Chain A
Amino acid sequence: MASIIPDSPKAVLQLERLSRRRAGRPAVQQLSLSLQSGQVMGLLGVNGAGKSTTLSMIAGALRPDSGDIRLNGEDFLEHPELARTQIGWLPERAPVWAELTVDEHLDAHGRLRGLAGATLRQARTAIIERLELQSLTRRLAGVLSQGQRQRLGLACALLHRPALLVLDEPANALDPVQVAALRALIREQAASGTAVILSTHLLAEVTAVCDRVVILHEGSLRHDGAVHADDHAALERTFFGIAMNGSTESARAA
């Protein structure tokens, strides 16, 4: 299915016929889409639909078998170093180096992203304040609760002010107050021009913060459309139609 967003030279991200096999079966097949600056795209799909594989490829952690990824018009597969400054990624379950404190984590992430000296210190202070991590800075990452780890992962993803923010189920283990704060943060990032991809299982999450929703099923793009905050039921019909029957047509019929 063609993307509803026309390809533009100003697109932050463009995927063209992206494919990847995992564990002997196609995890992502011929996926094409583009994402503009300031846009928030929800990525939906049942377990095993290919969401995390897609996000890992976009983040540069996994190489596609075929297809192209363009970041701000540049070939990302040819220049993986673009990830350093342009992409912020929160992987599923927010992996951490258990032996490091929250402060040391941010420091290490900043250095891996090319920040140093006063720039790193300022960025670290700003993100600690923004995500209210002050009380955790000296705590070892290994003893954080899952919700705290998610916040640390989010801080690491945002530290270097990326042009593209890739969030894989960021609301996992967050309490309702933290979920509301996460939504505000995503909106704030979008308003400042960051393109955001939000993978989630929660349809309410998509209607609350996304401008657009992409639904994957068995590794293929099955739906790409605008999201209207007041039409949660329509999104639900579309999603369940695809999840149960595998096609948008059957979703419409339902």
Chain B
Amino acid sequence: MSHAFTDIVAVTRLEWRRLLVRPLAWVLAALTLAWLAWNFTLLLGGFLAGQIQRAALPDGPGFIDLVGVPLLAQLAQLAFLVVPLLCMSTIAGERRNGTLPLLFAAGMPASRIVLGKYLAVQGWLLLWLALTLAMPLALMHATHFDWGKLAAATLGLALMLAALAAIGVACSSFASHPALAAAAALVVALALWSVNLGAQMAGINGGAINWLAMSTHLQPMLRGLVSSTDVVWFVLLIVLALALAARRLSADKERN
């Protein structure tokens, strides 16, 4: 195995372990999953209540349209708060506790430290997404499933979580205190989501400002449309945020 791989795995294991023993991760998981489960029952109730009317429509919305995707949309809203809280300590916390030099002294480049930490957070987020998905999936034998639409929405959510985590890690690398990192990540994520709000209100649906907005790239996937442009947008954002984080962390060795 190459040093790069073993370094990244070592940092991921360390961060994952720290994440699992921190009460914050468990509290966030418990509260958000309880909220999502309650919303799932409400959505399911609404779906069952309208079943007879929809039976008359030849191409009416199905279970995924009325329960699966709205549930994932709720998860997307919660992610704006959960991901910054989860990422805030990744680097800012190490800096504050004086443990960052221990990682530098292991002789690994900043990029591997950043990637290792990012993958640990990403692992937690994917588990969170999987547990949320388990709710509609529990009914897959009881109703008609539009697998394509669910897969597209899941891909969109996974990309969004990955992008928010990259922003969170980047903000953590720039901040001296975890709370500042969380606040910065929240502001950046909200700004990125709604940067085109003014343009939309003015009736402009194209152009660079709309391309910049995260909502432009997530919403088609929630509707079941996957385009390579949207996927590339998320990948570019992730790479840019992680590169900035690695650059800032590397500067710690020079500046401190």
Contacts and interface: CB of A to CB of B under 8 A. Distances in A.
B138 interface: no
B108 A108 contact: no
B18 A100 contact: yes
Contact of A114 (B3, B18, B103): B3
A133 to B, nearest CB: 18
Given A108-B10, A111-B13, A59 B105 contact: yes
A80 B113 CA distance: 14
A89 B218 CA distance: 47
B107 A80 contact: yes
A83 B6 CA distance: 15
A108 B94 CA distance: 15
Interface string B222-256: 00000000000000000000000000000001101
A interface, over-half SS? loop
Nearest to B250: A63
B18 A113 contact: no
Contacts of B18: 97, 99-100
B208 interface: no
B99 interface: yes
B21 A95 contact: no
Nearest to B7: A112
A108 B3 contact: no
Nearest to A157: B105
A84 B97 contact: no
A112 B103 contact: yes
B13 A83 contact: no
Contact of A95 (B101, B107, B254): B101
Interface string B1-32: 00100110111011001100110000000000
Interface in A51-96: 56, 59-63, 80-84, 87, 89, 91, 93, 95-96
Nearest to A57: B253
Nearest to A79: B107
Contacts of B97: 95, 97-98
A108 B101 contact: no
Contacts of A95: 97-99, 101-102
A111 B14 contact: yes
Nearest to A166: B105
B47 interface: no
A205 interface: no
B106 to A, nearest CB: 4
A83 B10 contact: no
Given A95-B97, A108-B14, A61 B104 contact: yes
Given A95-B101, A95-B102, A61 B253 contact: yes
Contact of B106 (A63, A91, A97, A112): A112
B17 A100 contact: yes
Contacts of A109: 102
Interface in B25-71: none
A96 B101 CA distance: 11
Nearest to A111: B10
Interface in A32-66: 56, 59-63
Nearest to B100: A61
A82 B14 CA distance: 21
Kindly name the residue among A61, A98, A109 whose own CB sees the greatest number of chain B CB atoms within 10 A.
A61
A84 B107 contact: yes
Interface of A: 22, 56, 59-63, 80-84, 87, 89, 91, 93, 95-100, 104, 108-109, 111-114, 116, 156
17 contacts: A59-B101, A59-B105, A61-B101, A62-B101, A62-B253, A81-B108, A84-B106, A91-B101, A97-B97, A98-B97, A99-B17, A99-B18, A100-B17, A104-B17, A111-B6, A111-B10, A112-B102
Ranked 8 nearest A-B pairs via Cβ:
A83-B107, A61-B101, A111-B10, A95-B98, A112-B106, A84-B107, A81-B107, A61-B104
